[in-house]
Each structure stands twice: as structure tokens, then as C-alpha cells.
Amino acid sequence: MLQTLQVERRVDPHLSIDRYDPEAELLLLHMGPQHPATHGVFRMDLYLDGEIVVKAVPYVGYLHRSVEKLCEKLTYSQVTPIVDKNDYVSPMTNEQAINMAFEKLLGIEVPRRARWMRLVFAELQRIASHLLWLGTFAMDLGGALGGGSTVFIHSFREREMIMDLFEEISGARFHYNTHTIGGNRHDIPAGWAGRVKQALDVIEARIGEYEAMSLHNRIFVQRTRGVGVIDAGLALELGLTGPMLRACGVDHDLRRDAPFHAYDEVPVNVAVAHGGDCLARAEVRFAELRESVRLVRVTVDSIPEGSINGGKPIKLPNSIKIPPGQTYVGIETPRGELGTYVIADGSANPYRLKIRPPSLHALSALPYMLPGGTVSDALAILGSVDPIMGEADR
Amino acid sequence: MNVVLTALVTSLAILVGVLTVTAWGIWFERKFSARLQSRLGPTMVGPVGLAQPLADLMKLLQKEDLVPEAADRAVFNLAPQIAALCALGAAAVVPFSAHIIGAQIDLGVLYLLAIGAVTVMPVFMAGWASNNKFALLGGMRALAQSLSYEVPLVLSAMVPVILAGSMDVSKIVEYQAAGSWIAIGPVWLGLPAFVLFLLAMLAESNRIPFDIPEAESELVAGITTEYSGMKFALFYLGEYVHTLVASAVASALFLGGWDGPFAPGLHWMVLKSLALFTFVYWVRWSLLRFRSDQLMKMCWYWLVPISVALLLGAGAWVVL
């Protein structure tokens, strides 16, 4: 399964600066938490020799909201809108993951219609999330006053179309709260499938434009090829998932390898690239954009009829009690494997709820990728990781 | 007396003209970039936002004048003034028409190149004096960058000088008015020299894809990180004036300056300069940024050898 890339020498992330630089001639640059390119509040300490990064130390936790503890204090039905805010670029997959864990503990069979709807939502969300990644990545490469922001605003225009579609479903543009234990809360309105396909036609045409602006742009390729290389072995050691892992040549995608929703009925073509660098990660995400457009096209028309909720109606917040037990559910979000581990003790609240965010693991690769590159490379690499700090810090 | 008065009036007119065109050049850039990005740009102040430059100026004038405690005060305060002065000073020898010219000096091209090269100084001064790591990195990049782009800039500017046989900008324009524009003919050397000059000009006025010293996504705001209020405005102004004057110089050296049919010379000069100015901003809002080592590599591996070859070619053409 593994096609390991050979690298001669790995970077030592624990390099002792005192020993490396006894004269203290390196420049210590605190990048973040307030910095235009740190995607929220992320901080890295860069030890610079001129412009070359010698050592990078990432710090997370500036956006810690103690979501896991908060979930322990809430009842099962109240958890969904809280986890919405974890990965705030892809809220749909957050609520799907948490509700799937509860459903698994309760042993509820989710109706086929609800599972198909979840698949369509997840894929639309993937398109929106990757579009946001493209915009912010281009901003990291080209600046807020320049070509980067042109890509940014254009990709946000298409993301807006998907948010409009979700608004029709749930009434909310961002934090949807449309999944619930046992199925979905809101049914698809009439004519929605047609509007989805109209939006997809526009988006698919525009993806070609974005490829011309990025993958086929010489400056983009020069800035990303061979930058931030990570080998497959290290990627697996660090627990990288999603596009980060697939860009290293590891063919792994939970949608195909451990199907959830209705992915067992709809075959998924998994995009894999072999460079392990920023360019490979961009290629994987572009391929996934096209694949998601295809998946939504083939599924949105054939969503089966039936009920959208297999659980009993929730009348009071504490009416759902989960018998003692524990479970883990992992689903493939736009950023990788989002895991949810729940321990239930028979009461109306989870005893312990642990979320495994893909962004946190992806950020752990930074100390290996940054050294050897310049400051400009550092931000290109950070952009290619596509970290969402709300999810990494929880 | 009469000569002094004429010189004074001409230079004041040029100064006011350049500043006015720059102010509305900024408005134009904002509108232009907004249309590129399916936005509207400034709309609120005046009709179609035309009074926006004035509003910006008023806002920046009212800002508190902040100097960081650890900064080198004298250098910190001097840098933006030099930046604006250098940029405006370059306008002195640009012939806006056959008669409108601030100072007709024999070594006009040399003066332009020298004052263009000096604009790196305030950038580095600001980077050093701010006592800020991001600003320092920006200043360092600006110096490293200037070493590499100045050579092709100077060499490519020498091509029209050799062809026209004079360092006086007006003489070069007259030579083009008598024959053909240097970018078009009579030799095929003009066009590549023009392209090289444009590239080096983009680098000199710190515009994308070579806006590496500023690089706001990497270095926060580069050298201007610690600047606010009017000092920031002076840097900003200097940058735009620099771009505008560089466009005017490029059109004078390569596109025949004020030479053109039907309309008076000034119209043609303004039209050509603004066309180049627009080109610079079109590039700015469409491309991503190079890394500084990539810029240096491009300059030393490609631009310098090509410009040397062009220079030799131009010399050979004149001699033969």
C-alpha cells in the first residue's frame, strides 16, 4: 500500500539552538499569533540564519475554547451546534462526525435518504472548504494587495454559492445545526437539486480558471515545487491524514477504505500525488475539487425517498440517554480524518468526548518541513497545510 | 529674473501635476483592482468615489504620530521624507512635452538612474531604524534585491542612450520623433530592452511580482510595519510617484515620449505614461510574488546577460 519516498536526511525538529548557535547570532522571529498569514491565531517561533529557517517551533492553543469539556456538560442533543464551531470552514462534517458517534452508541439505523443527504452535504462542504483553502493559499503566496487577493475573492464568490445552497436547507449560512441523532433535521426543499447542479456548472468552469491561475502559473509552481517536502514514512508517523497524506503518495481515504454515509454505494476516485511538497498538496486538492463536483452531480438527483430521521423525536434536551459504552468514529473531512471518541455512562451527557482534529496533526509536521527554507517558504508551507485553528485548538 | 520665474512656475506645475495624477492614480488603481475582483471599490466619497484620495489624506493627517520607543528617532523620521523626495525629484528631468520640463540637463538619464537607485536607501533606513524584526528583514531584502535589478535596469536604459547618442532625455525623445520609437525600430534591440526595463522597473518600484521587501503576507508590512499617519502616507506616496515617474521615463526612453500625431505632446506623454502605469497595476493584481532568491537568480542568470548582449548589439549598430 505504501510507496515510501526516499529522503536522505530528515530535519531534526529538536535541534538544540544553544549548541547549534552558541554565539546567539540567529534571529528569533515570533511569527504570530497576530500575523496576517497565520490563518487565525497560530504562532511559530522561527530561528533565522539570514532568511533561512534553522528551527521552527509551532505553538497551538491560542484559540482553545475547551470544547471537549463543554460537551461533557451538555446533553447529547445540545452538542451538535457547539462542535459546528470547531472546524469553522467545514461545519457540516463536524456535526456529522459527532452525531454518527452517538448513533453508533445508541445503535440507531440512519435512514438511507438521510445518509445520501449527508453525503451530498459533505461533498458540497468539501468544495467550499477547498475553495477557501485556495484563496488563503494564494494570499499567502501573493499578498493581500495583489494577485493573491484576486484569487481569494474569486474563490469566495463560488464558496458563497454553496453557502446559499446550505442556507436553503437549514436557514443558516455557516453553522447549520442540521444533523441530529438518527438523521437530519431539515429536508431538502423542492427544486434544490436543480439549483445545486446550476451552481456546480458555474463552479466547475471556474475551477479550470483557478487551475490556470495557480497550477499552470509559473510563479505558483516555482514557489511550491520542492518546498516543504515530507516523505510518506514521516507522514504516517505523525498521523497526517487527508490531502497532506495523499500528497505524499499514500493512497488512503476513509471515504473508500472505511465507507460511511452512502460512500459504499457511490465509488470514490481517490486523488494521490507523489511529490510530498506544496505543489503536490495543491494538486491533490484540485483533483478533490473536481471529484467532489462529480460526486455531487451523480448523487444529488438520486437521493432516495423516505424518512430523514430514524431516531425518536427529541422533545426535551435530556430525553436522550446513551447506555454505558464507548466508541470511535472517524470520517474523512476536507482536511483529513476527524475522529470522535465518546464514552457514555448512561446519563444524558457524554462522560468524556475526545475530538481528533486533522489540523493539529498536520501542524505537527511543520518543524520537519520549515527548516532549510526561507521565511517566504515558511508561509507557503503553512498555507499548504490548510490549518483551521478552531479545530486544532478546540 | 524671467528665467528663474519660468523655471519656478514650470517646476511647481510639474510637482502639482505629478501629485494630482498620483492621487487619482491611486483612486484609479482601487477602482481597477476592484473591477478585476468583482468588487465596486470606493463609491461613498464624491461621485464614483472620486474624492477618496482627499478623504484618505485627511484621515492620515489626523493620525497620531507614533515613533516606537526603541527606534532610531532621527533616521526613522528622515526615511519617509527621503523616499517621497527621491520619487518626486526624478520627475525633474522627464520631458512632459517639448517645452514642459523641469530641468534640461545633459546627463538626464544618469540622473534618473542615480536617483532611482537612491530610493533603496530610505527603505533600508526605515527597516533599520524601526527596530522591528519584520522591518529589518524587509530592508535587508530590499538591499539584496536592488543589487540584482539595478544592473539590468541601467544596462537596458543605456540602449536608447547609445542609439540616440545622448544622455539628455529630451534629445532621446527628439531622436525618436525624427525616426521611429526605440521600442519599435529601427533596430530589433529596442523591444527586448524595453521589456527588460519594464521588468527592472517593476522590481525598483516594489510592485508584484517583485514586491518582496513589503510582502505583507510574510513580513506583516515589511519596512512600513512601524509607520503610521503621514509618515506612512509619504512612503505610500513615494511608491506611487515612483511607479508613475518610472512609467513616464519608460515611455520617454522607449515609446517616443511626447511624440505622436493629431494631439499636443503633453497629451501623448500622459497617455503613454498612464498606459504603462495601468499595465504595472494590471500585473500587480494578477500575479503572485517571487521569492527573493528567485528574483536574484532571474536577474543574474537571465536579465544581466541579455542586457549586456543588447548593449553590445546597440554599440555595434551605431558603429557600423
Q: What is the pLDDT of residues A128-183, one digit of tens each?
A: 999 999 988 888 887 777 777 888 888 888 899 999 999 998 888 888 888 888 88
Q: Which residues pair with A45 in a beta bridge?
A: A30, A57
Half-sphere exposure (CA, 13 Å, Cβ side) for A319? Answer: 8
What percentage of chain A reaches a pLDDT higher than 90? 20
| B17 grid coordinates | 501635476
Task: Spell out the long-range contacts of A167-170 with Cβ–Cβ below 8 A and sequence spacing 24 or more.
Answer: A168/A192, A168/A195, A169/A121
Q: How far apart are CA A331 and CA B43, in angstroms?
A: 46
Shortest CA gap B79–chain A (Å): 23
Backbone angles phi, psi at A28, to 5 degrees: -95, 115
Chain B positions touching chain A (beta carbons under 8 Å): 33, 36-39, 133-134, 137, 140-141, 208-209, 211-212, 214-220, 284-294
Could you give the C-alpha distances from B81 to B78, B115, B211, B231, B238, in angstroms and in order? 5, 14, 21, 8, 9
- Give the integer Cα–Cα distance in Å for A248 and B9: 67
* Contact (CB, 8 A) for A321 and A133: no
Q: Is the pLDDT of residue B126 over 80?
A: yes
CA distance A243 to A386: 10
Beta bridge partners of A343: A326, A352
Partners of A338 in the β-ladder:
A331
Task: Report the alpha-carbon angle A350-A355-A357, nearest 5.
Answer: 165
Select the residue from B288, B290, B298 to test the A interface by mutation, using most A Cβ atoms within 10 A. B288
> According to the model, what pLDDT value does residue B168 have?
83
Domains of chain A and any CATH numbers: 67-393 (1.10.645.10)
What's the gap in Å between the CA of B278 and the closest CA on chain A? 14
Question: Hey, what's the cell of A295?
Answer: 460526486
Are A141 and B288 in contact (CB < 8 Å)?
yes
Contact B216 A154 (CB under 8 A): no
Question: Is there a cis peptide before residue B186, judged by omega within 30 degrees of 0?
Answer: yes
Cβ contact B291–A223 (<8 Å): yes
CA angle A104, A105, A111 (to 5 degrees): 35
- Chain B residues in contact with A139 (beta carbon < 8 A): 217
Provide the shortest C-alpha distance from residue B49 to chain A (in Å): 19
What distance in Å separates residue A300's CA from the closest CA in chain B? 30
Chain B residues lying within 8 Å of A224, measured CB to CB: none
Predicted confidence (pLDDT) per residue in A314-362, tens digit: 777 777 888 898 999 999 999 989 999 999 988 888 899 999 999 999 9
Assessment of whether the complete model's pTM goes beyond 0.80:
yes
**Do B18 and B245 touch, CB atoms closer than 8 A?**
yes
Contact B285 A143 (CB under 8 A): no
Nearest chain A Cα to B294, which residue? A222
| Local structure of residue B196 (DSSP, 8 states) | H
Give chain B positions within 8 Å (CB) of A157: 38
User: Residue A4: its pLDDT value, please?
Assistant: 41
Chain B closest-CA separation from residue A73 CA (Å)? 40
The reply to whether residue A143 touches residue B215, judged by beta carbons under 8 angstroms, is: yes
Q: Do B218 and A148 touch (CB under 8 A)?
A: no
φ and ψ at residue B307, rounded to 5 degrees: -70, -35
Mean pLDDT of chain B: 83
Identity of the residue numbered A55: K
State the Cα–Cα distance between residues B244 and B280, nearest whole angstrom.
9
**Which candidate, B129, B133, B110, places its Cα nearest to that of B121?**
B129
What is the separation, in whole angstroms, between the first and last Cα of chain B? 47
Cis peptide before A243 (omega within 30 of 0): no
Tens-binned pLDDT, residue by residue, of chain A (394 aa): 344 444 456 677 777 777 777 777 788 888 878 887 777 788 888 888 878 888 888 888 888 988 999 989 888 888 888 888 888 889 999 999 999 999 888 888 888 889 899 999 999 999 999 999 998 888 888 777 777 788 888 888 889 999 999 999 888 888 888 888 888 888 888 889 899 999 999 999 889 888 888 888 888 888 888 888 888 888 888 889 989 999 988 888 888 888 888 888 888 888 888 888 899 999 999 999 999 999 999 998 888 888 888 777 777 777 788 889 899 999 999 998 999 999 998 888 889 999 999 999 999 888 888 888 888 888 889 889 888 888 888 8
| Cβ distance of B290 and A223 shorter than 8 Å | yes
SS3 A199: helix
State pLDDT tens for residues B43-90. 888 888 888 888 888 888 888 888 888 888 888 889 888 888 888 888
CA distance A140 to chain B (A): 6
> Where is pLDDT greater, at B230 or B97?
B230
Closest chain B residue to the Cα of A34, Cα to Cα: B220
A280 Cβ under 8 Å from any chain B Cβ: no
Residue with the three cell numbers 484618505: B56
Closest in B39, B137, B285 to A51, CB measured:
B137
Average pLDDT over residues B172-179: 80
A141 inside 8 A of chain B by CB = yes
pLDDT the model gives residue A35: 82
Provide the terminal-to-terminal Cα distance of chain A, rounded to the nearest Å.
Answer: 33
Asked if A140 reaches chain B (Cβ–Cβ under 8 Å), the answer is yes
The percent of residues in chain B predicted with pLDDT above 70, rounded, is: 96
Closest CA to A235 of A268, A207, A197, A275: A275
Q: Is A149 on the interface with B (CB under 8 A)?
A: yes
Please check whether residue B70 is in contact with residue B131, taking contact to mean a CB–CB distance below 8 angstroms.
yes
State how far the Cα of A250 lies from the Cα of A242, in Å rounded to an integer: 10
Task: Kindly state whether A162 is in contact with chain B, defined as any CB-CB distance less than 8 angstroms.
Answer: no
- Label residue B206 by pLDDT band (50, 70, 90): confident
- Asked if B290's CB is within 8 angstroms of A147's CB, the reply is no
For range B184-201, the mean pLDDT: 81
pLDDT at A9: 60
Residue B310 contacts residue B193 (beta carbons within 8 Å): yes
- 3-state SS class at A378: helix
CA distance B85 to B83: 6
B216 closest CB neighbour out of A141, A145, A374? A145
Question: Percentage of residues in chain B with pLDDT exceeding 90?
Answer: 0
